Amino acid sequence: MTFLSPERFWLLILLPLLTLAYVLMQLRRRQYAVRFTNLALLSQVAPKRPGWRRHLAALLFVAMLLLMMIGFARPASSVKVPRDRATVMVAVDVSLSMMAKDVAPDRFGAAKEAAKKFIQDLPGRFNVGVVSFAGSANLVAAPSADREAAIASIDQLVLAKRTAIGEAVFTSLQAIRSFDSQASNDPPPAHIVLLSDGDNTTGRTVQEAIDASRAAQIPVSTIAFGTPYGTVDIEGETTSVSVNKETLRTLAEGSRGKAYEAADGGQLSEVYANIGSSLGWKTEHRDISARFTGFALLFALAAGGVSLVWFSRLP
């Protein structure tokens, strides 16, 4: 529990003062009674003391004041609420190295299937967009709740030369900033998931992408897709296409995202599920001062009832 107006707790210093005043009044009453030197006469003219009962109403009254002061400081509880504008951008590498068959049926096919499953499994309140990148980056599906459009855009991806990882991040950031009319001033909570198996061979650098994502406070999680043993045949020549894990890890850690390794489609699906769940909720503080006010009212009623029943007066 936290307090939205903790500065109001200064009122609590009044409770010890009030308690001290009550104690002094009781001591003064006792001293006044002792002035009667004839104790036999005192026992006849003074009614029998109610003992602890005469303090109960005062204790209930102090408890009521304490609850009211706590409520005045606006106590709040932490609750998880859905992030309705949460947006996930999926950036898919469509460079020629994705033809490698070290992951069945090949890197490109496995990546597309895992991406589609991830989109299908996202809660309906999530928005998802798709970016493809090779020599340049293109927004192929603007972020929205339309799952069919996002999945259809993945089915239409085609391979091309070179790899522009930095451009993929910048294109994803621009799509997030254009999400709705509020996004330029109040961007939605977002996460970029970038799947690649290669180096950044063209366009803006990875460091520039890191700086841009940190400025926007949007993490980039990367998935190193493939194995060190992948090869592709390009124009009759067999070329080794090993995964560059260091570049992807640098991008992820620099942007406060996470770097993953997915050697097959099953692992990739699990990675996507973990990233998606991290955007599902946010913590908010909700005012619960009404609870303390309600309990204070109960204590006030109890103090009044006890005083009326036992002493025929209000405290």
231-234 and 2-3 strand pairing:
unpaired
At 121 the pLDDT is 82
Determine the residue type at 279. L
Q: What is the pLDDT of residues 155-190, one digit of tens each?
A: 999 999 999 999 999 999 999 999 888 877 888 889
At 31 the pLDDT is 61
Geometric angle at alpha carbon 187, from 184 and 192, rounded to 5°: 120
Give the model's confidence band at 71: pLDDT under 50 very low, under 70 low, under 90 confident, else very high. Answer: confident
End-to-end CA distance of the chain: 32
**Residues 6 or more apart in contact with residue 298 via CB below 8 angstroms:** none
* Top CATH class, 84-279: alpha beta
Strand, coil or helix: 63: helix
Enclosing H/E stretch for 296: helix 289-311
At 23 the pLDDT is 77
Which range is most confident: 24-33, 217-226, 269-278? 217-226
Q: Where are the domains of the chain?
A: 2-78+286-311, 84-279
Residue 9 predicted with pLDDT over 90? no
Inter-CA distances, 87 with 190, 219, 275, Å: 5, 12, 12
Residue 91 predicted with pLDDT over 60? yes
Rounded to whole angstroms, how far apart are CA atoms 106 and 149? 24
Q: Which residue has the higher pLDDT, 303 or 166?
A: 166
Check whether the bond before 82 is cis (ω within 30° of 0).
Answer: no
Which range is most confident: 28-37, 183-192, 200-209, 225-234? 200-209
Q: What is the pLDDT of residues 125-147, one digit of tens each?
A: 789 999 999 999 999 999 999 99
Check: CB of residue 225 under 8 Å from CB of residue 103: yes
What is the value of pTM for the model shown? Answer: 0.65
Q: What percent of the chain has pLDDT over 90?
A: 31
- Cα torsion 33, 18, 291, 308 to 10°: value is 20
Q: What is the pLDDT of residues 20-54, one digit of tens each?
A: 877 777 677 666 555 555 555 545 555 555 556 66
